[in-house]
Structure 1
Amino acid sequence: MAAVHPKFRAAAVQAAPVFLDLDASIEKAISLIAEAASNGAQLVAFGETWLPGYPWQIWLDSPAWAMQFTQRYHDNSLVYGSPEAERLMQAAKKHSIMVVMGLSEKRGGSLYMGQWVIDQEGRTVGQRRKLKPTFVERAVFGEGDGTDLMVWTTSLGRIGALCCWEHLQPLSKYAMYAQDEQVHIAAWPSFSIYRGAANALGAEVNLAATRTYSVEGQCFVLAPCSVVSKEMVDVLCGEDPVKRKLLLQGGGFSAVLGPDGRLLHDPLPEDEEGIVYADINLGEISLAKATADPAGHYSRPDVTRLLLDRTAHDRVVITGQQAPICGEVEPGGAAQNGNLYESVIRSNAT
């Protein structure tokens, strides 16, 4: 019997959040989720740290100046298992659509650049953290570990996700390719800072990285790319003419690419909010893989191999019988792991 390959419509969001306002941003996200579902999408993806917005302040001035936004950013970052997180899960279930949300994840006193995959029943498929925050991002966010380089089996195929410049990390990419990834979420914040400067932060380089991923991995790529709104510029730049030249409105370049690197839709203008859609047929992957499967017939394991360490790097490991610990239990942790104490102190989301 011939294999049956899922066919579905996918959606990549190109929009700004309500900056530094978690509740309002979730409300906007739910509206976008409903819009995508009403247009027939079964999968919708959001950009990097869409909740509560990418912290552009770290690129605009000194760390001391950016500290004025720190408490507000922490207070509006998402905690798994919270009522705010539950609203997103219920929206996915209500509209029968898989959601991949980019977020600033708050865990205790630390933040992480997270991606959360929620299925059509409102259940968590996976939660991951960016392995290495890029450059000044390390002033805000902690790191993920080997458990985050994961591809999940779902009703829509084998789905994986990376953030931003993780797409410039060859070994991390290869680890994903080797897991037979079929649909990849490449989450980007916006390409609207340092325009014209000699750097690799612009659209040209990063769109090339997205396209390279689709061709190297022979997979479909959803690349949601957020927009910098006028309100965001006003909050972060005020009337400072220098800052207003550094951070511009727009920067949205959301895309959905096929396994041969083709753009599968008409693009939106970079300063326009909306959603881009593409119809995906996973059967087309076979055509690309037949030519060059980098982790299969086109590999040379006798010459080069990759070691992927999936060890969870817990900050605290408790052994033996312990008294109950007061603290936060990760969503589903006790039920899934059968160990309340471990679920309380684990630093990495299940």
Structure 2
Amino acid sequence: MPTTYRVAAVQAEPVWLDAGATVEKTIGLIEEAADQDISLMAFPETWIPGYPLFLWLGPVAGQMPYIARYHANSPTVDSAHLTAIRQAARRTGVAVALGYSEKDYGSLYMAQTLIAPDGSVLLHRRKLKPTHVERSLFGESDGSDLKVVQTPLGRIGALNCWEHLQPLNKYALYAQHEQVHIAAWPAFGLYKGIAYALGAEANMAVTQTYALEGGCFVIAPTQVLSERGIETFATTDEQRALLTAGAGRACIFGPDGSPLGKPLDEHAEGLVVADIDLSLIDLAKNAADPAGHYAKADATRLLHDDRPKRAVVRPGEIAGPYFPDLDEPSVEDTTA
């Protein structure tokens, strides 16, 4: 396993509410990452088909024109869309942490899938509890999705957005000796100047704290919101006033909390790139290993129930989604 390699956080705008076009853009960014010798790249929360900003702009009745379209552009785990991205990872040799709205029959989930350089799936998880109005569109998950996996690039875990405000979520991953963490965020152009907690400053501070607390590297991708994106969701001047163009803030942090890589302008699209060295984690944890020598189990302990909780359980059934083998004859070799 290499201890040093190059990572990237995506800062870009999806093609709003268009899964096929966003998949094409995703593949282009993967190819761009390969050209820069990047080993691991991360995409924002619900990158496909874009974060559902319409949830925050008015009453439920006004959301109805978007709901069917959002469902129709949310990929299933065995869809041609996911297959195309997995094939791109295998073709380029880039590991990809993908955020998307996962459709599972009549339900949607805020999913993250970690794809290996050979196109296989290393980790699939869903956001445990969607935040605030997100709960009107997305379902919840369970403790089995607080998971760190051993990969050729180290021990990797992931959370979405305000899962980083839940101390116990974070500690569950720290306790699994996470080395690289994917902190996926949407755009920060919502309620800018109105609700500080939805802004970049507060949320990037939480992300930086995660790196320092966990003694791990953190890759934090974000979406960008353009005037075109605003027009996609805002139909009145009142709604337009709630959205601000730009709002990109992709970052990478080291295990001591230090920022890594060159940040992009908030309106720019591209990759924030950094070279990381996993051996530096030992130095950080020598001072404070949160679930090791710096823990106090006699005072506080975490109960983490990591058993899957499904509505229906059948004898002998393996819980979890089915990702088709990329070499199966039935899988179409497509890029969209």
TM over 0.5: yes
Partner residue, 2:309: 313
Q: 2:247 aligns with which of 234, 243, 251?
A: 251
Question: Is the partner of 2:314 in helix, strand or coil?
Answer: coil
Q: CA deviation at 1:315?
A: 1.0
Partner residue, 2:274: 278
1:69 and 1:272 map into 2 onto residues whose CA distance is 27
Partner residue, 2:107: 110
Counterpart amino acid of 1:98? A
Partner residue, 1:303: 299
Alignment of 1:157-172 (within 5 A): 157-172=154-169
Instruction: State which drifts further: 208-217 or 5-14.
Output: 5-14
Question: Is the partner of 2:222 in helix, strand or coil?
Answer: coil
Partner residue, 1:235: 232
Q: CA deviation at 1:139?
A: 0.5
Q: CA deviation at 1:332?
A: 5.1
Q: CA deviation at 1:314?
A: 1.3
Partner residue, 1:212: 209
Q: 1:331 aligns with which of 314, 323, 331?
A: 323
Counterpart amino acid of 1:242? E
2:52 and 2:138 map into 1 onto residues whose CA distance is 10
Q: 1:121 aligns with which of 118, 121, 128?
A: 118
2:309 and 2:195 map into 1 onto residues whose CA distance is 37
Contact 1:260 1:288 in 2 (8 A): yes
Task: Write out the 4+ residue segments of structure 1 that deviate beyond 6 Å after TM superposition.
Answer: none
2:68 and 2:282 map into 1 onto residues whose CA distance is 49
Question: Is the partner of 1:41 in helix, strand or coil?
Answer: coil
1:24 is the counterpart of 2:16: no
Deviations 1:162-198 (A, max 9, x none): 0000000000100000000000000000111111114
Question: Is the partner of 2:84 in helix, strand or coil?
Answer: helix
Give me the identity figure in percent: 52
1:114 and 1:319 map into 2 onto residues whose CA distance is 26
TM-score w.r.t. length of structure 1: 0.90
Partner residue, 2:329: none
Partner residue, 2:74: 77
Deviations 1:300-346 (A, max 9, x none): 001110011011111112349x9xxxxx972259xxxxxxxxxxxxx
Counterpart amino acid of 2:246? G
Q: CA deviation at 1:79?
A: 0.5
Question: Is the partner of 2:58 in helix, strand or coil?
Answer: coil
Instruction: State which drifts further: 116-125 or 226-235.
Output: 226-235
Q: CA deviation at 1:293?
A: 0.5
Contact 2:121 2:323 in 1 (8 A): no
1:47 and 1:169 map into 2 onto residues whose CA distance is 19
Taking structure 1 as reference, are residues 198 and 247 closer, same or farther at Cα in structure 2, changes over 3 Å only?
Answer: closer
Partner residue, 2:187: 190
Question: Is the partner of 2:14 in helix, strand or coil?
Answer: coil
2:298 and 2:2 map into 1 onto residues whose CA distance is 32
1:330 and 1:220 map into 2 onto residues whose CA distance is 29
Partner residue, 2:257: 261
Question: Is the partner of 1:19 in helix, strand or coil?
Answer: coil
Contact 1:77 1:103 in 2 (8 A): yes
Structure ranking higher on relative contact order (CA contacts 8 Å, 6+ apart): 2
Taking structure 1 as reference, are residues 243 and 110 closer, same or farther at Cα in structure 2, changes over 3 Å only?
Answer: same
Deviations 1:99-136 (A, max 9, x none): 00000000010000000100000000011000010000
Partner residue, 1:345: none
Contact 2:74 2:103 in 1 (8 A): yes
Contact 2:2 2:153 in 1 (8 A): no
1:81 and 1:214 map into 2 onto residues whose CA distance is 33
1:142 and 1:243 map into 2 onto residues whose CA distance is 26
1:33 is the counterpart of 2:25: no
2:216 and 2:74 map into 1 onto residues whose CA distance is 31
TM-score w.r.t. length of structure 2: 0.94
Q: CA deviation at 1:273?
A: 0.7
Q: CA deviation at 1:294?
A: 0.7
Q: CA deviation at 1:266?
A: 1.8
Gaps of 5+ in 2: 326-336
Deviations 1:221-274 (A, max 9, x none): 000011112221111113x21111101111100001100111112211111111
1:151 and 1:82 map into 2 onto residues whose CA distance is 25
Contact 2:249 2:266 in 1 (8 A): yes
Contact 2:161 2:183 in 1 (8 A): yes
Counterpart amino acid of 1:296? G
Aligned-residue Cα RMSD (Å) equals 1.6
1:63 is the counterpart of 2:55: no
